[in-house]
Amino acid sequence: MTSVAMKYLKLGESGFDQSLSDMLSWESVSNADMQKLVADIIHHVRTEGDQALIEYSAKFDSYPVDSMAALTVSAEDIEAAFNRLDEAKQDALKVAAERVEKYHSKQLSESWQYTDELGVVLGQKVTAMDKVGIYVPGGVAPLASSVIMNAMPAKVAGVKDIVMATPAPNGEVSDFVLAAAYVSGVTECYLLGGAQAIAALAYGTQTVPSVDKIVGPGNAFVATAKAQVFGKVGIDMIAGPSEILVVCDGKTNPDWIAMDLFSQAEHSHDAQAILISQDAEFLAQVKASIEKLLPTMERADTILESLNNRGLMIEVAQLEQAIELINTIAPEHLELSIDEPESWLDGIRHAGAIFMGRHSSEALGDYCAGPNHVLPTSGTARFFSPLGVYDFQKRSSLIGASAQAANTLGPVVSVLARGELLTAHAQSAEYRIND
């Protein structure tokens, strides 16, 4: 196997900032040709409905069917898939779902209101969305965890209808994925993939209902489609490749750190794994662990390509210098494999999920710790948050003015509205003064 050639940078050396920027740079593979193809697919689904989905099932998934019945998974079939699993997998899915549900129940927002000194009732009404769609990729890995992470916060929020779309290449769908749908409260499931699935969820067909919001990961076609239907429906985010940033003081077993880097690198050749330490000898030990362990990995080729393309080791003079690097990188996953990681939290402004301590592997967060594993990537942790219950709740403002309030605030409205040359606004408020 080819030797791993992760890039090595030293903070403070000439050209460090530009080299780091180059390594962090990632541009979507969605070019003009893909944009056009996705737009055509969306248009075809909008105009032809179920027939377009049947055609695309044969074209893209090698699954020719005669009707949508073959692309529809009933509630009974979902439950049967769960029952076909061995007990260990059933129990693992239930534990993960329960922990994710418990964590997300802490995020629920409640309606509130108060009456101010003028007698105006002010407040906020919080309601769940009616119907949401979750997309679950059906490629090289059966992502049961993605089902739980996307569906459970919607369920906790009070969404009544949770519609899942997942492709079935050659007509095959994972029992593991369907079983995750069973424990997560998915109410409908369709064997649809790619841009056509996103179009169906956004606009609806004769069989597939239109939803209010679409969440879930996917390839470039899925991401492009989500961007194009945004506005007709809500979306969670446009996700880039998976990322991990590990900060280690040199006191953690280097094999552990190597495997933590692998845990993200195995996702795809575009995934990014970064290690920061003040201990150059430790960085060399991790490099040796990578070389030793890589041949034992099932996805060794993907890991190797990822580490060679975007893998990075950074040496700092003092470990605390890593804090500003963290905020610059704004990683999806951040592992603080150090003593007293809680002492760093005040300084960390940008990270999707923060794993504190040597035993807090990123894999725990991916599956069953409780917080969501749908996280901002490619530096978007600067302004995005993890998927949560709040993504499936809407807020309506409440305003109930008394006669006194209309009389007192009406002149304020009049001055402001006339200052903006909006006289109808002004007169609407003026009519109620001294009424």
Active site residues: 332-333
264 is in an annotated binding site: yes
**CA–CA separation, 28 and 9 (whole Å):** 25
Say whether 420 counts as a known binding-site residue: yes
Whole-number Å distance between alpha carbons of 214 and 131: 9
196 annotated to bind ligand:
yes
Helix 423-430 / helix 403-419 crossing angle, nearest 10 deg: 160
61 has binding-site annotation? no
DSSP string, 303-316: HHHHHHHH-EEEE-
DSSP secondary structure code for residue 31 in this structure:
-
Q: Rounded distance, CA 6 to CA 20, Å?
A: 13
User: φ, ψ for residue 228 (rounded to 5)?
Assistant: -75, -30
User: Is 333 among the annotated ligand-binding positions?
Assistant: yes
Residue 86 assigned to a binding site: no
Contacts of 367 (CB under 8 A, 6+ apart): 96, 145, 373
Q: What is the DSSP letter of 78?
A: H
Position 377, amino acid? T
- On whether 267 is known to bind a ligand per the annotation, the reply is yes
Q: Give how far Cα 34 sits from Cα of 59, 228, 241, 262, Å.
A: 16, 12, 18, 30
135 is an annotated ligand-binding site residue: yes
Distance CA 319, CA 341 (A): 12
- Tokens linked to 87: 């007990």
The runs of H, that is alpha helices, within 272-372 are 280-293, 300-310, 322-329, 362-367
The CA-atom distances, in angstroms, between 422 and each of 401, 431, 434 are: 21, 15, 21
Q: Which residues of 7-21 are buried (b: 16+ CB within 10 A; e: fewer)?
A: bebebeeeeeeebbe
Known binding site for substrate: residues?
A: 242, 264, 267, 333, 366, 420, 425
Known binding site: residues?
A: 135, 196, 219, 242, 264, 267, 333, 366, 420, 425
Known binding site for Zn(2+): residues?
A: 264, 267, 366, 425
Known binding site for NAD(+): residues?
A: 135, 196, 219
